[in-house]
Amino acid sequence: LTSSSPSPIFTVTQEAVSRINSVMSTKADRDLHLRSLKYIRGSTVHFETEMIGSRFIIKDNPQSANACGCGSSFALKNFEENKPV
């Protein structure tokens, strides 16, 4: 995915694309999840399957000040400026 700037907004691996297509089957689902894209701008989105389960992984997120050990959540840089509405 790219914006009008020459650098990509974020990178999505083929595994993530396949999973996104399967879970975002309706317009309502797509509209709901599009509001969150600004929090992963500049990241790589990957979907992996292991014996213990499967998950999306957000890698190299420049919007993240820090993250939990399992990689499921992160704290936004400049949270007050980027506070969710």
Res 80: pLDDT: 61
pLDDT at residue 70 in the model: 63
Tokens of 79: 């949270």
Mark residue 68 as left, alpha or beta (left: phi above 0; alpha: psi -120 to 50; beta: remaining).
Answer: beta
With a cut of 50, list the residues of the chain below it in pLDDT: 1-2
pTM over 0.85: no
